[in-house]
Structure 1
Amino acid sequence: MWRRRITIDDRAITDGSGITLKQSLFPNFLVTILFFLWGFAHGLLDTLNSHFQDELNITASMSSGLSAAYFGAYFLCPLTVSGWILRRFGFRVTFMTGLCVMTIGCLLFWPSGVKASFGGFCGSMFVVGAGLSTLETGADNFLAICGPPRYSEIRLNLAQGIQGVGSFVAPLLASRVFFANTVDTQQGLKNVQWVYLGVACFVALLVPLFYIAPMPEVTDADMGLQERDISETDVGPFRKQYNLFLGVWSEFCYTGAQVAVANYFINFAEEAGYSAAKSSDLLAVGQGLYTFMRFVSSGLITVGVKPRYILATYLGLCFIFGVAATTTSGPTSVAMLILVLCFESACFATIFTLALRGLGQHTKRGGSMLVAAISGGAAIPPMTGAVATHTGNFHKAMAIPTAFYVLAWIFPIYANTVSRDLLDGHRMTDVNVSGEKKVVDGNDGVEVELQTGDGKGGTERVENVNIA
């Protein structure tokens, strides 16, 4: 139990490639804990943005520096160190590295609070983002591929639902506990210090847990052979994975729009006539619907609704209600923006899993690009904040994220036309549904048969093959 393999060979076939639904339950449950962590951090960030504007006397565009720092790490890490760690050392080490970096970032909030330094908070948030982006590079990929391929969207949407619980709880704690009856700036910032110290302690406790826990590893070779078992064709070179590239673009636009709406929701609601406390409650309502609809979407996919239909419908409704929010006023506009939050629910997970379909041996590389696309949260919120600062009107500023919902809709159009046969084929496959998986190495005609047992981390039994 105490000895774990540190490196992996991505050219090796492991029994992780044939893990069944039953065998995947515990490791997927363990990884889902991580989704709650960054959901909580993300939800807390939304509320902190508004409070920093009041307590440090900064503009909305300056406050977006927190989001830029957090999501800027998503652009750098997955494409460089996080992606390399995943391919070289596997999921276990990726999770442990992300947890350690996140712990350091949370601890850095203490000196930042002592100095009441907004720049220090931005730097701390960047380190937290580096840790979370490393976690997400591993976790999103893991849930997408650990288990039968036909259930990929369901697994990730359920985990995203748990993430939504964190996003729902964080604003409530921030408004009801951390900043409750706080009129002194120093006391409010000190509360933030204690929050992140508690998070750091909890995250640090997860590191040995992920070291000890059985964790199957799925290599590039596994995914290459699995793809041949599903489609019986070669996936081709990475440069021709157009389904992935459009998915990355859609993820960038959607995530940036989502973060912009969440960041400035409280300001939007206050402009519509609500108090700060009521605005925070309304954000919690929106986050609650956001979470609820993720579970509903998982149920819809389970009963047979195609994920590509859900994605096209939800993104279209985000645009429609976004337009309604910007062109109305008062409670009506806030209700429309809450509906935007509601239908954002399943978009991220569905884009991610659909874009990974058919990548074969390119899966981990493609997954790293999709996580890097979350960096849209560093680009679009500052644009929204700049418009709000320039015009003094948050209703007009919401036109920015609304426009990006249209740009994100390019991928569901492609998914429902050009790549629909590829996507539907993966939804109907029976690969890994049973306890036995048989694949063929197309390079030399050697047939490899894997019997799935207890897994033992998915790294003990391997055969080396060549994958084009």
Structure 2
Amino acid sequence: MSKDQKFVALALVTSLFFIWGFALNLNPILIAHLKKACQLTDFQSSLVDSASYFAYFILPIPAARFMHRYGYKGGILLGLVLFAIGAFLFFPAAAVRSYAFFLSSLFVIFSGAAFLETAANPYITVLGDPSTATRRINFSQSFNGLAAALGPLAGGVFILSGKTLTAAQEAAMSPAQLNDYLNKEASSVQIPYLIIGLVVLVVAFLIFRTPLPEIVDDTEQSVEEDNRSLLNQIGSLLKISNLRNGIIAQFFYVGAQAGILGFFIRYSERVAGLEEKPASFYLTAATFCFMLGRFSGTFLMKYINPVKLLAFYCVMNVILLIVIFFLHGKFTVIALMGVTFFMSIMFPTVFSLSIRGLGQKTKLGSSLIIMGIVGGATIPPIMGLVSDASNIKFAYLVPIICFSYILYFATTNLRVKKLEVVSGH
């Protein structure tokens, strides 16, 4: 493979990090938008995250098996095709204004994303000098961070109309007028997701035409583990208290992240009195705070014990969420942006602490921790139920439980002085 071919391959595989990051960070926009267009409760709108994160929970193992048989390039191509199909399905879903159709489309999109995420990191490691593999992974992950900032911004500009009816305005409309309004709102996702699908297909075509090195794992190809053996290994790993606690901590972290960002626009509207579009811009600012927190946190870990930093960030988030509960107005949105800053280091730090000392079992242990992201499918609906039963302020008490458990996990690891923090969500 020539130097030019490696550069092209690296650029294409790096684009995958941007693609799934962009889609995942459109979810907070979709939660607010579909709540309005499909006339949903907060609980129902939270199922946007559930459809996405359940795909991530269910598909990684089937994706790994598919790639074991057909290669990583085959897995990437299938992932991109699934992703594009899911994006195209938004067009008919909007035409019939069916929320179940939207959720099915999202599940297809993130089934494809699960294939992409399973393949991307191993590919980056072989596309160049092994001594610079860590640098390449971090470079590629930076595009995931860029997508996290651009997704809400693009969604706020091209999807949200900025027009939300009050109960009185809705009651004053005739059924035909209300139906026209809701149809127009639903249709605003059609063109953006059509464009996303076309761009993804272009990337799939370019990857299809580009020679990519195949990754061969000698151990994986020479030893076929049966299901009973795999279950025995999982059972053995789950007896390790630090790993078990780490899986639970990751469950709570991803759930808190999904819920906090997913209801951000609704919170800004109800508590701070912001209009829909300005609220989306505050959401974009919050994702920039997250990215700033990730970079600054990584820098601080050179001088501060990462475990102590994790514990301090958990305490800060608990304090901020309590403050948010008791106060009202725009300051609470600023405080919520602070929460996104302090939760930024949690995924990679919890991940690194959890796999510490697993040795040859690190690969399987890592898979179990990644499966903990099902928290993103679980915590937001709980927040939605709380919001529907009371109000959005009470819903934001739920993440306090999440960060409190992560604080407990951090305290059990205080003896750890140094830590190699990996990239992650």
Q: TM-score band (shorter)?
A: 0.7 to 0.9
Structure 2 partner of 1:416: 414
Return closer, same or farther for 1:220/1:331 CA change in 2, 3 Å cut-off: farther
* Counterparts in 2 of 1:156 and 1:257: CA distance versus 1, 3 Å: farther
Q: Which amino acid aligns with 1:45?
A: N
Match of 1:318 in 2: 317
CA shift, 1:93, in A, is 3.6
CA contact (8 A) 1:157 1:294 kept: no
- Inter-partner Cα distance in structure 2 for 1:240 and 1:249: 13
- Is residue 74 of structure 2 the alignment partner of residue 76 of structure 1? no
**Contact 2:158 2:192 survives alignment (8 Å):** no
Of stretches 30-39 and 395-404 in structure 1, the one that deviates more from structure 2 is 30-39
Residue in structure 2 matched with residue 58 of structure 1 by the alignment: 40
> Which residue among 68, 85, 91 is the counterpart of 1:104?
85
State TM-score, norm by structure 1. 0.72
- Aligned residue runs from structure 1 range 175-186, under 5 A: 175-180=156-161, 184-186=181-183
Label 1:35 to 1:409 Cα distance change in 2 as closer, same or farther (>3 A).
farther
Most deviating of 373-382 and 277-286: 277-286
The structural deviation recorded for 1:389 is 0.4
Q: Give the aligned partner of residue 388 of structure 2.
A: 389
The answer to whether the 8 Å contact 1:182/1:188 transfers is: no
Question: Which residue is 1:41 aligned to?
Answer: 23
2:274 is paired with a residue whose SS is coil
Residues 99 and 259 from structure 1, CA distance in 2 versus in 1: closer, same or farther, beyond 3 angstroms? same
Identity, in percent, stands at: 29
The Cα shift of 1:309 comes to: 4.2
Gap regions ≥5 residues in structure 2: 165-180, 221-235
1:281 corresponds to? 281
1:173-221 deviation digits (Å, cap 9, x = unpaired): 2222333467833233222121111111222222344453544636374
Higher relative contact order (CA 8 A, sep 6+): 1
Q: Distance in 2 between matches of 1:58 and 1:388?
A: 13
Which residue of 1 is the match for residue 197 of structure 2? 200
SS in 1 for 2:25: helix
Q: How far did residue 380 of structure 1 move?
A: 0.3
CA contact (8 A) 2:162 2:277 kept: no
Whole-Å Cα distance in 2 between the matches of residues 215 and 256 of structure 1? 36
CA distance in 2, matches of 1:95, 1:363: 24
Aligned length: 385
The 8 Å contact of residues 158 and 294 in structure 1, kept in 2 or not, is answered as no
Deviations 1:352-389 (Å, cap 9, x if unpaired)? 34434444443433333233221111100000000000
Which residue in 2 is equivalent to 1:456?
A: none
Shift of 1:123: 0.8
- Taking a change above 3 Å as real, the CA distance of residues 373 and 315 of structure 1, as seen in their structure-2 partners, is same
Aligned to 1:179, the other structure's residue is in SS state coil
Q: Identify the residue that residue 380 of structure 1 maps to in structure 2.
A: 379
CA contact (8 A) 1:269 1:279 kept: yes
Q: What is the TM-score when the length of structure 2 is the normalising length?
A: 0.79
Give the direction of change, closer, same or farther, for the CA distance of 1:123–1:151 in structure 2 (3 Å limit).
Answer: same
Answer yes or no: is the 8 Å Cα contact 1:312–1:412 preserved in 2.
yes
2:238 and 2:292 map into 1 onto residues whose CA distance is 37
- The Cα of 1:297 is off from its aligned counterpart by 3.0
Change (3 A) 1:139 1:347: farther
The match for 1:189 is: 186
Letter matched to residue 416 of structure 1: L
What whole-Å deviation, never above 9, does each CA across 1:6-30 have from its counterpart, x for those lacking one?
xxxxxxxxxxxxxxxxxx9987765
- Within 5 Å, give how 1:290-329 maps onto structure 2: 290-301=290-301, 303=302, 305=304, 307-329=306-328
Whether contact under 8 Å (2:160, 2:188) holds in the other structure is: yes
2:227 maps to none
Distance 1:370 1:145, change over 3 A: farther
- Given the superposition, is the C-alpha separation of residues 327 and 158 from structure 1 closer, same or farther in structure 2, using an over 3 Å criterion? farther
**Structure whose residues are more often helix by fraction:** 2
Task: Tell me the distance in 2 between the aligned counterparts of 1:260 and 1:134.
Answer: 24
**Distance in 1 separating the partners of 2:22 and 2:117:** 14
Q: Deviations over 1:378-435 (max 9, x none)?
A: 10000000000011x1111100122111123343333333xx37x65x68xxxxxxxx
Distance in 1 of aligned mates of 2:7 and 2:316? 33
Aligned twin of 1:458: none
Q: Structure 1 residues 329 and 252, CA, compared in 2 at 3 Å: closer, same or farther?
A: same
SS at 1:409's partner residue? helix
Where 2:39 maps in the other structure, the secondary structure is coil
5+ residue gaps in structure 1? 2-23, 223-236, 428-468
- State the secondary structure of the residue aligned to 1:415: coil
Counterpart of 1:280 in structure 2: which amino acid? S
Is the alpha carbon distance of 1:45 and 1:137 closer, same or farther for their aligned partners in structure 2, counting shifts above 3 Å? same
**Counterparts in 2 of 1:49-448, with a 5 A limit?**
49-78=31-60, 80-87=61-68, 91-139=72-120, 159-180=140-161, 184-211=181-208, 212-215=210-213, 217=215, 219=217, 221=219, 238-239=237-238, 242-272=241-271, 273-301=273-301, 303=302, 305=304, 307-391=306-390, 393-417=391-415, 420=416, 424=419
Contact 1:157–1:295 (Cα < 8 Å) also in 2? no
Corresponding residue SS for 2:188:
helix
